[in-house]
Amino acid sequence: MTSLAIRPLHDDDPPVIAAAFEELGWPKPESQYRRYLEEQAAGTRDVLVATVDGAYVGYVTVRWTSPYFGNIPEIQDFNVLPKARRQGIGSALMDAAEAMVAERFAVVGIGVGLYPDYGQAQRMYVRRGYLPDGRGLIYDGRQVPPMEMIRNDDDATLMFTKQLR
């Protein structure tokens, strides 16, 4: 890796990011990133994009008012392209997102999926000092009561918080 840069989402990024995920078979339409641009302009979400030598490699968003945590900002939709993983890009994105939140808030939240595709993220968040919020399993934003069966998909998460200062 020669030149890692982390910058805000730009107007010309949505088709590039959507194409990168389409190539992987992941459903992340261009409209999602257009919405992120609108939310970024409105101040409700910030999007940090990572590039290496000018080429897109990953992004993370900070949602300033979390539907789950309420008054605690939430880091959401954290993605690094598989070919760019294990090179410090994810850590750099998380450092930048946490620094951005720490300017305004003492605590940040994050959720992580439960199936093996999220294994690296689960380990990373714990190593970075995130702790489970103690509410247990969350499905589609709501706490799952004991004995209730759910589907183990992207909506099944464990939510964490981290003290930033």
What pTM was computed for the model?
0.92
* Domains within the chain, CATH numbers bracketed: 4-163 (3.40.630.30)
Supply 149's token pair: 């069966």
45, 78, 48: which is closest to 64 by C-alpha? Answer: 45
91-125 residue pLDDT tens: 999 999 999 999 999 999 999 999 998 998 999 99
- Per-residue pLDDT at 1 exceeds 70: no
